[in-house]
């Protein structure tokens, strides 16, 4: 077997990691649904083990509902909600947390299996351990995010929401990179192609990641529910009130006009960068890389359509979740290209 062909064991490990990546992708999309339906604050306790068991009796439901009634969200937003309404938002958040636990099990058990059978190569082991630790931190970050919405204001901190999403995307990206490294040990393109495109690819991926973070601030401040016209905002390119808050830097993260304006600007930058990346690759990319560049451009077009539709239709739940999934899909395509063009 030559050095460019992955072993059967590495293919199995890569398949396992790609399955977990798919679960992480679903987790991000479901997280968007829980946010858009205001379900995320329906479970007011963090019980990593006991919380796996759903309420089984009417008394259990009543206990959970009474705890929810003590939260700012119930008292200021959902006051008067009955038990049936509570069950509707509870199940979405329960499924979100259950999927998080499933991801932990789906990662840990195969990892222990491969470890016991001594099929994990020495350089790979610390990467997998690091992924497991990051997954645990992500669970903690998720609870810290929820806890921020149980005190005074009936919404989670946009800063913690952004950190929660950023960590999820980082874990997803790193796991995907490790899996691709097992499947494709050597770059497919020649040195000249990699030298001309790899730096551009890293920049493109970083800009996409930054756009995802700006989208998290849009979600955290609910900035997507204002200025629901395109391409102008309140009839202007730059809406009024961009620097209404003091100090000035707070506007970048808490002013709904500024947050949405920044997200739009970053979207324009992403469009320009991806199109330029694709155009520059046309003469030198061949085979699989060429197909991947076309896929990146197509994914960008899909995400632009989803973003505009989400805005002008005032963020329907299904469309908002699809837009979040589209962002991760675009990030995936960029990561794949980076890996394909990496140096030996």
How far is the C-alpha of 125 from the C-alpha of 12, rounded, in Å? 15
pLDDT digits (tens, 9 = 90+) for 1-20: 444 567 899 999 999 999 99
Which DSSP string corresponds to 181-234? HHH--S-SS-HHHHHHHHHHHHHHHHHHHHHHHHHHHHHHHTGGGS---SS-BT
- The pLDDT of residue 2 is 44
| Cα atoms found within 13 Å of the Cα of residue 272, Cβ hemisphere only | 6
- The pLDDT of residue 344 is 36
Helix axes 8-36, 83-116, angle to 10 degrees: 160
Contact in structure between 210 and 227 (CB atoms under 8 Å)? no
DSSP, res 55: P
Q: Which residue has the tokens 């790609």?
A: 18
How far is the C-alpha of 228 from the C-alpha of 244, rounded, in Å? 20
Would you say residue 192 has pLDDT above 60? no
- The pLDDT of residue 195 is 63
How far is the C-alpha of 120 from the C-alpha of 115, rounded, in Å? 6
pLDDT digits (tens, 9 = 90+) for 289-322: 889 999 999 999 999 999 999 999 999 999 999 9
pTM of the model: 0.93
pLDDT digits (tens, 9 = 90+) for 132-181: 999 999 999 999 999 999 988 888 999 999 999 999 999 999 999 999 99
- Phi first, then psi, for residue 157 (nearest 5°) are -65, 125
Which DSSP string corresponds to 101-149? HHHHHHHHHHHHHHHHTT-S-TTTHHHHHHHHHHHHHHHHHHHHHHHTT
For the chain, give every domain's residue range: 1-186, 188-344
Would you say residue 326 has pLDDT above 70? yes
- The pLDDT of residue 226 is 95
Mean pLDDT value of segment 32-50? 92
């Amino acid at each position: 077997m030559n050095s460019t062909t992955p072993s059967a064991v590495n293919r199995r490990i890569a398949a396992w990691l790609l399955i977990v990546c798919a679960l992480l992708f679903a987790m991000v999309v479901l997280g968007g649904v829980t946010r858009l339906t205001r379900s995320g604050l329906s479970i007011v306790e963090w019980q990593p083990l006991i919380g796996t068991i759903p309420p089984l009796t009417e008394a259990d439901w009543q206990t959970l509902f009474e705890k929810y009634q003590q939260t700012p969200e119930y008292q200021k937003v959902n006051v008067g909600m009955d038990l049936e309404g509570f069950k509707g938002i509870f199940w979405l958040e329960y499924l979100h947390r259950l999927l998080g636990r499933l991801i932990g099990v789906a990662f840990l058990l195969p990892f222990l299996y491969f470890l016991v059978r001594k099929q994990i190569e020495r350089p790979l082991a610390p990467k997998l351990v690091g992924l497991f630790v990051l997954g645990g931190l992500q669970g903690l970050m998720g609870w810290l995010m929820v806890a921020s919405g149980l005190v005074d204001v009936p919404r989670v901190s946009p800063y913690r929401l952004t950190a929660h999403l950023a960590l999820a995307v980082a874990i997803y990206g790193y796991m995907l990179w490790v899996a691709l490294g097992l499947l494709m040990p050597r770059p497919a393109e020649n040195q000249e192609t990699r030298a001309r495109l790899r730096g551009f690819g890293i920049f493109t991926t970083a800009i996409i990641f930054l756009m995802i973070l700006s989208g998290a601030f849009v979600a955290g401040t609910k900035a997507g529910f204002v200025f629901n016209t395109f391409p102008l905002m309140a009839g202007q390119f730059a809406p009024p009130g961009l620097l209404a808050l003091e100090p000035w830097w707070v506007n970048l993260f808490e002013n709904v006009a500024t947050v949405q304006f920044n997200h739009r600007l970053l979207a324009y930058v992403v469009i320009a960068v991806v199109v330029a990346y694709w155009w520059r690759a046309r003469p030198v990319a061949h085979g699989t890389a060429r197909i991947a560049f076309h896929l990146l451009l197509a994914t960008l077009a899909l995400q632009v359509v989803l973003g505009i539709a989400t805005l002008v239709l005032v963020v329907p739940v299904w469309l908002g979740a699809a837009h979040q999934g589209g962002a991760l899909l675009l990030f995936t395509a960029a990561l794949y290209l980076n890996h394909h063009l990496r140096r030996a």
